[in-house]
Amino acid sequence: MWRRVATAALALGAGAGAHAIATSEDPARTLKICRHLPPRLLRDSVAAAAIAFDYQYSLWGLQPDSPAWLTAKHDAHLRSANRLQELCFRNGGIYIKLGQHIAQLEYVLPQEYVQTMRESMLKRCPVSSYEDVRGVFKKEIGELPETVFAEFDPVPIASASLAQVHAATTHDGKKVAVKVQHDHLLDTSVIDIATVDLVVNALNYIFPTFDYRWLVDEIRESAPKELDFLCEAQNSERCLVNFRKLSPHIANSICTPKVYWNLSTSRILTMEYIDAKEVTDVKGIKDLGIRPVDVSNLVNKAFAEMIFKHGFVHCDPHAANMMIRPLPQDSKKWFVLGSKRPQLVLLDHGLYKELDHATRINYASLWKALLRADQNGIKEYSIKLGAGEDLHALFAGVLTMRPWERVIDPSFGHLVLDGNNTDRSEMQMYANLYFPQISELLRRLPNVILLMLKTNDCLRAVNHALVGGSTPESFEIIARASSEAVFEAKRMEKRFFLYRFIIWLEELLNELHLFGMKLWLHYQQPRRILAVAG
């Protein structure tokens, strides 16, 4: 086994390096980049071999699903997660992005991996020295930051996997946030993707049920876009335009920082500085006079509109990328129950996914069926989205985090997650039980749907921090946005009067269903308020 892993690592590394140099327009630069390959390749090979050996040795001779086997498997998961975490931090760059992605795949990957990555990857990102920052400015703009700006704080206010943010003041007195890409990251990203590919393929070779090669495909596609800050700036502006044109009813409640194009390049992004609280800072949000449940509902509305109506979706909505402040135009208005309305500030627009019309409507139709507990609809649209006839029930479970019996329960609150330990234990049990089938499902699904799963997981984590689970209101929000998208598509396709009349009847029945949901919500609301009051 050791020889196979070592041979595969060396062959892949040498082949990738030779191919890169031979096909490069700048062989000298590519050769310089390839200097980063040997240490990364060595670390990856050792980590992959250690993880593989740990699982084989720890589970050797134990009866599957026995108490001893389950304990040994848990311990192996935990040790391997720590090894992978250390590998990500030592290599940095794209590896940090991989760790952050793993941190959001709750109930899809073993919980030991998710929790280990979640506790560290969003808080321990690398920090570039100020000399490195000055070097990036010199390469990109031709001047140093202290010349470009009237004031530039050399200590970053935040750091992420690909960049860090500094506070600065322009020469005309405006306070800005300057996002500066980590030096050499653009050069090493090609090598990082190749070596990440090695780790995942090596583990899949040794453990065929561990098939997460789709993670590498997703990173390979998204990394170049995330490394181009001008692309991020365009996404930011397009996102805001979509809300103003397609969702004007909540457009004022959504904000993205203004971009200073004259002070931005592909590796430096200068934006308006916005003073706000992190979306999961419950105490800070309450101190602003805003209710956490209102924040949860606004986040759900924003992403329901993006997914089902805009078809242009921010796919990295973890806590560090969303902030909350009071709605600016409400500063002199009265507030319901003395609370202020929130405004959602969306940050880090590097990772977006565009849903084509058919995918968007099929996805909306699937959620409409899920909320109606419509078994035939769930099956039909799961198949259309790539899950297959045999795994449609599992797909529904992964989307909703509910077992099939709850998914097809006709009661209004059948999909509500309370976030309690019983819910979590139940879903972890199902994740462990159906691990091979989940791997197969993820292999089948197109990348755009995989990113929707990741987005759902991020939003669940935010809702859990804000209100302890999913609110009943969140499903009313999803029900309305998804059904509106479906009916709008039907009206565009069928223009004859009789069809229009039938669609009108369907919409009427849908409104009755939503009214029933509202009544149920009204019944649940007192308990929900008591639950979140503390």
How far is the C-alpha of 347 from the C-alpha of 281, rounded, in Å?
16
In 3D space, the residue among 241, 326, 233 whose CA is nearest the CA of residue 284 turns out to be 326
| Three-class SS state of 169 | strand
pLDDT in tens, 359-391: 999 999 999 999 888 999 999 999 999 999 999
> Among 141-150, 210-219, 227-236, 392-401, which is the least confidently predicted range?
210-219
pLDDT value for 534: 47
> Among 246-250, 251-255, 417-421, which is the least confidently predicted range?
417-421
Of the residues 183, 197, 316, 348, only one is catalytic, namely 316
pLDDT value for 2: 45
Percent of the chain beyond pLDDT 90?
43
What pLDDT band is residue 331 in, cutting at 50, 70 and 90?
Answer: low
pLDDT value for 458: 87
Instruction: Tell me what the mean pLDDT of segment 437-445 comes to.
Output: 86
Q: What is the 3-state secondary structure (H, E, C) of 273-309?
A: CCCCEECCCHHHHHHCCCCHHHHHHHHHHHHHHHHHH
Q: What is the pTM of this model?
A: 0.84
The better pLDDT of the pair 307, 43 is held by: 307
Residue 502, pLDDT above cutoff 90: no
> Among 129-138, 150-159, 250-259, 464-473, which is the least confidently predicted range?
464-473
Alpha helices (runs of H) in 401-496, residue ranges in sequence order: 404-407, 421-433, 435-444, 447-467, 472-493
> Among 15-19, 60-64, 79-83, 250-254, which is the least confidently predicted range?
15-19
Instruction: Tell me what the mean pLDDT of segment 256-262 comes to.
Output: 97
> Among 20-34, 91-105, 118-132, 355-369, which is the least confidently predicted range?
20-34
What pLDDT band is residue 31 in, cutting at 50, 70 and 90?
Answer: low
Strand-by-strand arrangement of the 277-278 sheet: 254-255, 342-346, 322-326, 277-278
In 3D space, the residue among 175, 492, 485, 65 whose CA is nearest the CA of residue 308 turns out to be 485
Residue 316 a catalytic site member = yes
pLDDT value for 8: 53
Residue 422, pLDDT above cutoff 80: no
pLDDT in tens, 162-182: 899 999 999 999 999 999 999
pLDDT value for 192: 82
The better pLDDT of the pair 121, 378 is held by: 378
Mean per-residue pLDDT over the chain, rounded:
83
User: Cα torsion for 435, 441, 447, 450, to the nearest 10°?
Assistant: -60
